[in-house]
Amino acid sequence: MKLQQLKYLLAIVDNGLNITAAAERLYTSQPGVSKQLKLLEEELGLQLFTRKGKSLGGITPAGQQVIARARVVMQEVDNIRSLASDYFHEEEGTLSIATTHTQARYVLPEVIKEFRSRYPKVSLELHQGTSEQIADMVSANEIDFAIATGSRDLFSDLLLVPSYHWDRKILVPKNHELTRLERKVTLDDLAEYPLVTYVFSFGGQSSLKLAFAEKGLDPDVVFTARDADVIKTYVRMGLGVGIVASMAEDCDDRKDLEAIEAEGLFPRSTTWIGFRRDAVLRRYMLDFIQLFAPHISTEQLECTRHARNQGDIDELFDETALPLRTGCSDDMTAAA
Amino acid sequence: MKLQQLKYLLAIVDNGLNITAAAERLYTSQPGVSKQLKLLEEELGLQLFTRKGKSLGGITPAGQQVIARARVVMQEVDNIRSLASDYFHEEEGTLSIATTHTQARYVLPEVIKEFRSRYPKVSLELHQGTSEQIADMVSANEIDFAIATGSRDLFSDLLLVPSYHWDRKILVPKNHELTRLERKVTLDDLAEYPLVTYVFSFGGQSSLKLAFAEKGLDPDVVFTARDADVIKTYVRMGLGVGIVASMAEDCDDRKDLEAIEAEGLFPRSTTWIGFRRDAVLRRYMLDFIQLFAPHISTEQLECTRHARNQGDIDELFDETALPLRTGCSDDMTAAA
DNA sequence: CGCGTTTACGTCGTTCGTAACGATA
DNA sequence: TATCGTTACGAACGACGTAAACGCG
């Protein structure tokens, strides 16, 4: 058995069982790929693919298992290479991050700015998507880091490092009635107004939806959007009261919007950064984690590097002691 | 990078950094091994070993990491081969089990007898040792199954399937005073007599030791042995009262010994069977597990096969619902 | 007849073993 | 001088690419 045979095998699978396409992707000749597959099947003594005439028809059950193992092998081989370049070219490499809009727009810019200045030679890829899309990217193995909030069960194959908590803010146009309340805003107050918030906040068993439901309230959600910028636009138009992540309040917004802290109204959210269990964490990746979640000590980070399952991580970090991230008002203090 | 290079690398490490010895073990020439190591180091661009003159002196930190990854790679490659033979030679292979004396002597014989008749072509290896020795064998990767009791923390790299509970029995010569008690034997009763029991039962924080300590008792342990046969011998000699695992009571013992159930006196022990997280479980291995722990359903077993961490297993099995295994008296009913 | 795979074959690079050399204790 | 690793070289093997044949729609 050769590494090349496993590589060819995976290429065939990843190119829709088309050997010709696989060969092109591998910059080699098609008969070569064909032959190596045949050799591999002969050595293992089993068919990895079913044949439709001469073409490959499908994957046999045995093939499925072999392919899964082969992926692990190639993954680890890549890890070895990665390890090696970490020692040799500490400052070079790539870092691909998949995350949601809120993180990409309001949290990561600072982090990435700092990271880029420290590692100018590392090429960064930022992929934005919903939690589900991020999960897909993760399983397609294209991603070094996933950053998201909640939905831990979507990412059971990653190790998740809790990074910070955040609350919601209520956004209203200047001089809105809600800003003139003498007391704290309650859910009942909110339910009086048309609401504008995130799409996913009202799909599934979202915490926002639940918070209202628990009080027996049925709020009037007039508009849902995928990101806070759109929500703000509609709040400015007077379409309704916005509920957004605290981080989503820009200082610029203060010109025409007012933000009301919704601390305590809704359950607190936890944003985490996750990576594949068996990935090699290069120096610059560890530094990225620390930039993103500065409360993590260097020792914790070192332990994280060798953690093998989520339990190890959970022991390491006290969920309740995470920093709280807010928007414009006190970004600086939160970062300190 | 070639698989052979990784294989050679591991052989060098496993032969005390002696290239000549590694070459012999690999049935190849020494210059070949030397050269492949050099090629690997060149490709990775780093030294895997420090050199003392021309000889290898030690492993560099980078080397340590590469070696660890290389082991995973070779493991998975073996798994692929194993997978293949499972489809082709369902009935052939090897099964090596590491276990303690109690299991090897009193529990496994029946299981293995049945297994051998079902899979006569599978060659069995049974290794006996203390928990620590078993753990060593496991990390040396020589073992398919480990079977032991308690000490789960020694085996954090294995997936452990709880198999059965057992209590202790008190062994005394025929007509011993303790057999004439009208009531149940208590710890206080036991503490009146010289005791003979397992070595490890009184080392560390063993449950036996703790049970006495909790009552403020300081029993007089006159003799400790590694196995129940030795303990029985000394009980027969009248040296003291024996405390052994329930399974350790042979029907033959009834000729000159009497057994008193110690149910409730000491905490119940749980025996498990464990295997490496990423091992391929071949058909006959699954059958072995089921012979050893017949309460496991075929579906549970199938899930077990794909479990990735101990949590998955714990969810699958209700620890409290395990069968209770006893000695001679009702072996048959326990097995049913 | 086009598409994709297999077979056939010549070329080139790699591995392997033997033998000679070098360094270390 | 014995042990262990490196260098050198010829033989054998295996991988690759081109060209041609085959089978299926």
Alpha helices in B119-163 (DSSP H): 131-139
Q: What is the pLDDT of residue B142?
A: 85
Do A154 and A290 share a domain, yes or no?
yes
Do B74 and B114 share a domain, yes or no?
no
pLDDT < 70 regions, chain A: 200-205, 329-336
Of B61, B89, B117, the one marking the end of a domain is B89
Do B238 and B312 share a domain, yes or no?
no
Question: B35 to chain A, minimum CA–CA distance in Å?
Answer: 18
Q: What is d(CA B152, CA B159) in angstroms, rounded to the nearest whole number?
A: 10
Do A153 and A284 share a domain, yes or no?
yes
Q: How far is the CA of A92 from the C1' of C24 (A)?
A: 40
Q: Where are the beta strands (DSSP E) in B111-181?
A: 122-128, 145-149, 158-166, 168-173
Q: What is d(CA A91, CA A111) in angstroms, rounded to the nearest whole number?
A: 17
| A-to-B residue pairs, Cβ atoms closer than 8 angstroms | 79
Q: What is d(CA B268, CA B289) in angstroms, rounded to the nearest whole number?
A: 22
For chain A, the first-to-last Cα distance in angstroms comes to: 54
Its domain, for residue B151, covers 93-166+269-334
Question: B5 to chain A, minimum CA–CA distance in Å?
Answer: 11
Contact at 8 Å (CB) between B322 and B164? yes
- Segment B64-80 shows an average pLDDT of 93
**8-state DSSP, B188:** H
Question: DSSP letters of A142-203?
Answer: --SEEEEES-GGGGTTEEEEEEEEE-EEEEEETT-GGGG-SS---HHHHHTSEEEEESGGGS
Q: What is d(CA A157, CA A137) in angstroms, rounded to the nearest whole number?
A: 12
Question: To 5 degrees, how large is the angle CA B130–CA B134–CA B139?
Answer: 150
Of B219, B245, B261, the one marking the end of a domain is B261
Of A4, A78, A142, whose CA–CA distance to B66 is shortest?
A78
Do A109 and A55 share a domain, yes or no?
no
Q: Which residue is nearest to nucleotide D25 (CA to C1')?
A: A53
Of A150, A240, A243, whose CA–CA distance to A198 is shortest?
A243
Nucleotides of C under 7 A from a protein CB: 4-8, 15-20, 22-25
Which three-class secondary structure state does DSSP give residue A271?
A: strand
- Segment B262-267 shows an average pLDDT of 85
Question: DSSP letters of A290-311?
Answer: HHH-TTS-HHHHHHHHH--SHH
Of B215, B217, B209, whose CA–CA distance to B193 is shortest?
B217
Do A162 and A172 share a domain, yes or no?
no
- The neighbour count for residue B245, using CB atoms within 10 Å, is 25
Work out the burial of residue B271: count CB atoms within 10 Å of its CB; fewer than 13 is exposed, 13-18 middle, 19 or more buried. Answer: buried
- Asked if residue B333 has pLDDT above 50, the reply is no
Strand C neighbours with CB under 7 A? A 17-20, 30-31, 34-35, 37-38, 51, 54-56; B 2, 4, 27-32, 35-36, 39, 52-55
Q: How far is the CA of B11 from the C1' of C19 (A)?
A: 25
Q: Residue B5, CA: closest nucleotide via C1'? A: C15
Do B51 and B178 share a domain, yes or no?
no
Q: What is d(CA B224, CA B190) in angstroms, rounded to the nearest whole number?
A: 16
Tens-digit pLDDT profile for residues B144-158: 999 998 888 889 889
Q: What is the pLDDT of residue B335?
A: 40
Tens-digit pLDDT profile for residues B160-198: 999 999 999 999 998 888 888 888 888 888 888 999 988
- Asked if residue B332 has pLDDT above 70, the reply is no
State which residue of chain A sits closest to B75, comparing Cα positions. A73
Do A239 and A212 share a domain, yes or no?
yes
- Asked if residue B283 has pLDDT above 80, the reply is yes
Say whether A45 and B70 touch across the interface (CB within 8 A): no
Q: Which amino acid is at B86?
A: D
Q: What is the pLDDT of residue A203?
A: 54
- Asked if residue B334 has pLDDT above 80, the reply is no
Is this prediction's pTM over 0.85? no
Instruction: Give the CATH number, domain containing residue A26.
Output: 1.10.10.10
Do A149 and A292 share a domain, yes or no?
yes
Q: What is the pLDDT of residue B205?
A: 59
Do B13 and B161 share a domain, yes or no?
no
Instruction: Give the CATH number, domain containing residue A185.
Output: 3.40.190.10
- Segment B23-31 shows an average pLDDT of 92
Q: What is d(CA A120, CA A90) in angstroms, rounded to the nearest whole number?
A: 12
| Tally of structural domains, chain A | 3
Do A102 and A49 share a domain, yes or no?
no
Nearest-by-Cβ selection for A80 from B66, B85, B278:
B66
State which residue of chain A sits closest to B66, comparing Cα positions. A80
Q: What is the pLDDT of residue A332?
A: 44
Q: How far is the CA of B80 from the C1' of C19 (A)?
A: 39
Alpha helices in chain A (DSSP H): 3-14, 19-25, 30-44, 61-88, 101-102, 108-118, 131-139, 187-191, 207-214, 228-236, 283-292, 298-306, 310-316, 331-335
Which chain A residues touch B if contact means CB-CB below 8 Å?
Answer: 1-3, 44-46, 62, 65-66, 69-70, 72-73, 76-77, 79-81, 83-85, 87-88, 278, 280, 309, 311
For B322, the token pair is 């395990």
Of B261, B292, B309, the one marking the end of a domain is B261
Do A235 and A190 share a domain, yes or no?
yes
Q: What is the pLDDT of residue A269?
A: 87
Q: What is the pLDDT of residue B69?
A: 93
